[in-house]
Amino acid sequence: MAVPDASSIAVIAAPVPVPVRGAEIRLLRLPLVEPFETSFGRTDSRLVVLVRLDAEGASGWGEVVAMETPSYSYETATTARHVIRDYFVPALLKEPVAGLADLARRFAVFRGHPMARAGLELAFVDLVARLRGEPLARVLGGTRQRVAVGVSLGIQPALPALLERVERHLALGYQRIKLKIKPGWDLDVVAEVRRRHPGILLSVDANAAYTLADREHLKRLDAYRLLMIEQPLEVDDVVDHAALQEELETPICLDESLTGLQRVRQALALESCRIVNMKVGRVGGYSQALPIHDLCRAQGVPVWCGGMLESGIGRAHNIALASLAGFTLPGDISASRRYFARDIIAPEVDVAGDGTVAVPDGPGFGYEIDMAYLEERTEAVERFAR
């Protein structure tokens, strides 16, 4: 993965190179309050991979957003542990790290595995923020004090269950409702939600469930004034999406297809999408996310922060990132309790009645870690020292 040569990355440097002394990979399982179903499958509990880096009495934490199975992308919790343990950690511990660009360059000799490398970049930037005594959001260049949020609602066994969830989350203040769709759970569902809620910001996410042969079917979504249709076509495609976007009035937003700065640049040049879903894990870390943000902002392309059912640690990073000026649409950054009965951070992420989440102003990502609950849920820990 080529390292972008961008000023936004260069500013994430430590006063002196950070002598990272220890690294930890931790696996834990958090039960979900209800199963989450997308076109690629159903998730009943979240297997979370956390990474921690230690230096000079401080610790930085990151989350690897890979899922348990290679369904959203090819990475899994197991492939991430393997490449982190065998390749990324040795590169990181080899010598003190001068900054984010230095770290990204060390990882650049390896191909793929964006979520694994992102986990370490997240931990490193959190560590740098703590060593500088600054909030992560400020270190990243964020300017907002609160971020706007929406909710992503999974496929339900029947329509009434979905309608109830739409109503409940609107009442809680969520600014945008996103419906997961797939063939057989699309037009009728969208029509009914739109009929009941004519004025809301409504979008759909297909998680790559259609092909260009479905273009006539997908064009019928134009009748419902959707904010966007997210990732209608194949995971690695930007060419067919351009053909589809030409025929659709509804803006296409790409998620799975946007695997790094280069792909975002190509997608915008081809007009494969008009909106960008940012997931720092999917794009390979802050070293890609920040230049992607800057590119989209310069071109006037709206960006919003996607989600991967993260634990509080991944969510805290998303909140910091979404505080950057280019994030102009509500993110998939829902309250902790929308996913988990208990989160591993304190306080838990809370959504205010106006559909916003506060950006913490403490050092690093700004939440405490509930170590007692973290330990209770931990299934495996691997530690490495320099």
Contacts with 287 (C-beta within 8 Å, 6 or more apart), sequence order: 3, 4, 9, 100, 101, 103, 104, 121
Binding to Mg ion (CB under 5 A): which residues in 244-283?
A: 255
Please indicate whether residue 182 is annotated as part of the active site.
no
Please indicate whether residue 279 is annotated as part of the active site.
yes
Q: Which of ligand OSB, Mg ion, none sits in contact with 309, Cβ below 5 to 8 A by type?
A: ligand OSB
Binder of ligand OSB out of 4, 114, 135, 307 (CB under 6 A): 307
Provide, rounded to whole angstroms, the least separation between the CB of residue 29 and ligand OSB. 16
Binding to ligand OSB (CB under 6 A): which residues in 188-227?
A: 205, 207
Residue 237 binds to ligand OSB (criterion: CB under 6 A)? no
Residue 72 binds to ligand OSB (criterion: CB under 6 A)? yes
Residue 276 binds to ligand OSB (criterion: CB under 6 A)? no
Binder of ligand OSB out of 260, 306, 330, 360 (CB under 6 A): 306
Which stretch in 5-13, 81-89, 166-174, 304-312 sits in contact with ligand OSB by CB under 6 A? 304-312
Contacts with 227 (C-beta within 8 Å, 6 or more apart), sequence order: 176, 201, 202, 203, 251, 329
Residue 332 binds to Mg ion (criterion: CB under 5 A)? no
Residue 323 binds to ligand OSB (criterion: CB under 6 A)? no
Binder of Mg ion out of 205, 237, 294, 343 (CB under 5 A): 205
Provide, rounded to whole angstroms, the least separation between the CB of residue 42 and ligand OSB. 11
Q: Which two tokens stand for residue 11?
A: 């500013």
Nearer to ligand OSB, 264 or 309 (CB): 309
Residue 105 CB-density burial (10 A; 0-12 exposed, 13-18 middle, 19+ buried)? middle
Residue pointed to by tokens 């081809």: 270
Which stretch in 23-31, 212-220, 257-265, 302-310 sits in contact with ligand OSB by CB under 6 A? 302-310
Binder of ligand OSB out of 127, 258, 308, 321 (CB under 6 A): 308
Nearer to ligand OSB, 31 or 133 (CB): 31
Binding footprint of Mg ion, residue count (CB under 5 A): 3
Could you give the strand order of the β-sheet that contains 303-305, starting from the edge strand earlier in sequence? 151-153, 176-180, 201-205, 228-230, 252-254, 275-278, 303-305
| Pairing of β 345-346 and β 378-385 | unpaired
Residue pointed to by tokens 């220890």: 22
Residue pointed to by tokens 């939600």: 193
On whether the CB atoms of residues 257 and 249 are closer than 8 A, the answer is no
Contacts with 292 (C-beta within 8 Å, 6 or more apart), sequence order: 258, 260, 261, 264, 276, 278, 283, 303
The residue annotated as part of the active site, out of 178, 180, 182, 219, is 180
Provide, rounded to whole angstroms, the least separation between the CB of residue 253 and Mg ion. 8
Complete DSSP assignment for 102-113: HHHHHHTTS-S-
On whether the CB atoms of residues 312 and 48 are closer than 8 A, the answer is no
Q: Which residues bind ligand OSB (CB under 6 A)?
A: 72, 152, 205, 207, 255, 306-309, 332, 334
Residues engaged in binding Mg ion (CB under 5 A): 205, 230, 255
Catalytic residues: 180, 279
